[in-house]
Amino acid sequence: VARNPGEAEFHQAVREVFDSLGPVLAKHPHYADAGIIKRLTEPERQIIFRVPWIDDRNQVQVNRGFRVEFNSALGPYKGGLRFHPSVYLGVVKFLGFEQIFKNALTGLPIGGGKGGSDFDPKGRSDHEIMRFCQSFMTELYRHIGEYTDVPAGDIGVGGREIGYLFGQYKRITNRYESGVLTGKGLAWGGSQVRTEATGYGAVFFVRDMLAAVDDKLDGKTVVVSGSGNVAIYAIEKIEQLGGRVVACSDSSGYIVDEAGIDLELLKEIKNVQRGRIGDYADARPSARLVTTGSLWNVPTDIAIPCATQNELNGADATQLVKNGVRIVAEGANMPCTPEAVRIFGEAGVRFAPGKAANAGGVATSALEMQQNASRDSWTFGYTEDRLSEIMTSIHDHCLHTAEEYGAPGNYVMGANIAGFTQVADAMLALGLI
Ligand code: NDP
């Protein structure tokens, strides 16, 4: 804490991982002897830069850009870019730290990193977004590359932004280096299923959690927070597997639709019109908009928070438990506060941490890198099957590891220990670097 003052989210993420490591350090003291813990919490490289751009009123704007290259023991740094006014070093470091273990869990050769800017895309014109992305890449390009660091999207960075970023990278470097970014469009080096992957992957994980107790999604009620990339495709897969999503949200409020979310309408409003969640309630008689109180008051069997960090607190967790929730899976990164996680644990609610449940996005990004490297493109069905297999393998790995270390059914312990040992072993093998 003294070494990284004021970085509350980073401290929270580190504590969450290290709280799980007691049994592994007791069994394998050589990790501590080799300074793995100290080395893991210090990023290999942190880049902070100025992003100047001109808005539509010809005014100069200046934002701050970040890229934290956290750990490359397993492969090139890999992790998304977030454009949101709340972005500062503490948020980027928490996300980058989580990414190290998440990427290890996928079993694919990718290290951990994260980046972004305090730029707020909300209300900005398409031209402003393009000028911002071009300026951002004009600095970032010198730090990234197919074998070095491969960014992708996150909050506020979707296909449109990746397009502008890739265009500028290509222009500056004069290289059509497809493997430098993931989340690209299908016509220019992207992978099938990448757009859907995080949401689909989280639901595959829930499917496997249910299967582990001889249950299934069919007929279950689900509440999903957010209505962005992760939330929309989580809703799609839940509906395909027979679940009914009765509520979702954005930062202006939430909607309850007991008839089940009309996904085509939600996509039209969010992806095409770039509208607000209230527009959904205006267009659908069975839905109502709620702008006060918490989304987590809505009774549900399964909760999948897919918006942002610390969006589900202790009071929300208590209410969910009171309403009979059985499974909580984090589609977003660290959406549940430590108190909420503790309450779920005490109540016997099965809880999947984001580094396991939302790893499908980065896993499919690694599949995109594989396709780029071999100049190949796979079908939707083949890619989705690979995603599904990867999620099952992560699920089983977490469950077995938890059992091995004396905490059966504890996905938090399982994910943290499994991710940690994989990275720590590689760091040991590579020496003091
Ligand atoms: P999007 O920008 O597509 O969507 C984010 C959604 O969350 C929007 O509905 C947004 O509402 C809402 N939201 C964001 N910030 C807040 C806030 N402070 N309060 C309330 N609502 C908020 O992002 P993604 O769907 O890509 O990402 C969502 C989460 O999933 C993040 O935690 C991200 O790190 C994580 N994640 C994403 C992956 C991906 O592949 N995209 C991969 C793994 C994890 P509004 O529009 O009103 O701001």
At residue 313, the 3 state secondary structure works out as coil
pLDDT grade for 143, boundaries at 50, 70 and 90: very high
Q: Going edge to edge, which strands form the sheet with 221-224?
A: 287-290, 253-257, 244-250, 221-224, 302-304, 327-329, 350-352
pLDDT grade for 228, boundaries at 50, 70 and 90: very high
Pocket of ligand 1 (CB under 6 A): 153-156, 198, 226-231, 250-252, 306-308, 331-333, 358, 361
Query: pLDDT by residue (tens digit) across 261-276?
Result: 999 999 999 999 999 9
The answer to whether the annotation marks 102 as part of a ligand binding site is: yes
Write down all domains in the chain, each with its CATH number in brackets.
Answer: 42-181 (3.40.50.10860), 195-352 (3.40.50.720)
- Looking at the chain, the whole-number percentage of residues with pLDDT higher than 90 is 99
Q: Report phi then psi at 154, rounded to 5.
A: -165, -155
Helices (H) and strands (E) in the chain, counts: 17, 12
The answer to whether the annotation marks 365 as part of a ligand binding site is: yes
pLDDT grade for 327, boundaries at 50, 70 and 90: very high
Query: pLDDT by residue (tens digit) across 154-196?
Result: 999 999 999 999 999 999 999 999 999 999 999 999 999 999 9
Judge whether 139 and 65 are in contact, CB under 8 Å.
Answer: yes
Mean pLDDT, rounded, for 392-406: 97
> One of 93, 114, 184, 237 is an active-site residue; which one?
114
Query: pLDDT by residue (tens digit) across 274-324?
Result: 999 999 999 999 999 999 999 999 999 999 999 999 999 999 999 999 999
pLDDT grade for 1, boundaries at 50, 70 and 90: confident
Round to whole Å and give the CA distance between 98 and 111: 11
Q: How far, in Å, from the CA of 162 to the mean position of ligand 1?
A: 16
Round to whole Å and give the CA distance between 144 and 77: 9
Sequence-ordered alpha helix ranges (H) in 120-174? 126-140, 159-173
Residue 363's pLDDT is: 98
Mean pLDDT, rounded, for 55-78: 98
Structure tokens that stand for 124 in this block:
């900005």
Query: pLDDT by residue (tens digit) across 231-245?
Result: 999 999 999 999 999
Closest CA to 347 of 376, 371, 377, 326: 326
Q: What is the mean pLDDT of the chain?
A: 97
State the amino acid at position 363 in one-letter form.
A
At residue 67, the 3 state secondary structure works out as strand
pLDDT grade for 433, boundaries at 50, 70 and 90: confident
HSE-CB of 422 using CA atoms within 13 angstroms: 27
Q: Angle at Cα 11 formed by Cα 429 and Cα 43, nearest 5°?
A: 40
Residue 64's pLDDT is: 98
Whether 134 shows a pLDDT value over 90: the answer reads yes
